[in-house]
A = this chain, B = another copy of it.
Amino acid sequence: MTVSPTPTPAATVEQVSESELLSVFLPLSKTASSYVEVGPGDDCAVVAVPQGRVVITTDTQVVDQDFRVRWPNGYETTGADTAHKCAAQNLADIAAMGAVPTSMVVSMTLPGNTPVQWVQDFATGLAEAFDRLGATDCALVGGDLGRGRELSVTATVLGVMEDGNPVLRSGAGAGGTLVHVGALGLAAAGLSALEAPPGSGWDRVPEHNRRELERAQLRPLAPILTGPKAARAGVSAMIDISDGLLRDAGRVARASGVVVDLDPAALEEAVAQLAEAGNAAGVDPWRWVLTGGEDHGLLAVLPPGVQVPPGMRAIGSCAPADRRPADIGDTAVTIAGQDPGQWLGCDVGEGWDHFEP
């Protein structure tokens, strides 16, 4: 076996072996945490689970489905952006159980012309994302680097409950208060900005505001520290908002056998923040707030009499499923008692479906 020189970042992955790529990827990765007993390099990693149970989630990003290498507005997605989104979407699922993330494995499928730099940026970006999101005791413990025509990244994350039981979607009860933390509609507005070619209405939005929205899509600030706090504060149901407020609130409602009524007054500030962008893009900002996905905020339900946890805001309430008005059919989520479409005066659908034709 000959020792290969370290590949320079100018190289593409088809010019290096898998072991050469790993030799530049792993030293840039954060591979240690207090939970890691064996990190990358063996058949499996070994992760401590002192509490007797582990929570696990997995999420894939595929180019041109979940992100673009080059967006119509000219922005090019870096490896660090992809790493950040990968962390946010998976860690938000962990947080939505009330759990703390301990470890991640990542599988990447890389076209041959992917720059080695992109892979290095992913490694450093992932470590930065763990820090920025507050996952300070989470590490990358393994993965799989392979070739394909289509760039994609799949991560699986493990988490543990520091105390108490995991919080499910099905625990909402009638009389409960719906509470929320995180962005609403920012990632959807950012997607609109990234998808807008030069010369669109988005050019009227000040550069700084536009960049902030684009960043909310590229590197969503999932409020993952609030998940375990909400669990300790006594929330009885929780979900990560990945597919839009209406759709994810509907999931909690149906899993719990309740109907959820959103308080429009509690959403007005989120809508106001997006008014200028909505005007430029020709989109009603209520649509972004109600149906925009990928913000990765947390939506939870407090039993009656439990105080709203610090950092969260009340945005609605739960009623028995048989208490919904007769004229709104099967709708599990209402706004001020009305069907969301009726309330908005247009068909809003329920949010994002990966397979929607």
Contact = CB atoms under 8 A, between A and B. Distances in A.
Interface string A133-159: 000000001111111111010101011
Given A53-B48, A152-B109, A350-B1, A355 B42 contact: no
A356 interface: yes
Given A149-B64, A152-B109, A330-B1, A168 B356 contact: no
A290 to B, nearest CB: 15
Given A44-B55, A56-B141, A62 B148 contact: yes
Nearest to A16: B355
Please tell me how many copies of the chain the complex holds: 2
Contacts of A357: 14-15, 17
Interface stretch (A77-85, A96-104, A176-184, A275-283): A96-104
B169 A56 contact: no
A162 interface: no
A1 to B, nearest CB: 5
A239 B146 CA distance: 20
Interface in A1-27: 1-2, 13-21
A145 B59 CA distance: 9
B54 A54 contact: yes
Contacts of A92: 43
A37 interface: yes
Interface of A: 1-2, 13-21, 37-38, 41-50, 52-60, 62-66, 92-94, 96-97, 99, 103, 105-107, 109, 141-150, 152, 154, 156, 158-159, 166, 168-170, 238-240, 250, 255, 330-332, 350, 353-357
Given A18-B356, A49-B49, A58-B142, 18 more contacts: A1-B332, A1-B350, A13-B355, A43-B239, A44-B56, A44-B94, A46-B56, A47-B53, A47-B55, A48-B53, A49-B54, A56-B141, A60-B146, A62-B147, A65-B147, A145-B354, A147-B354, A149-B150
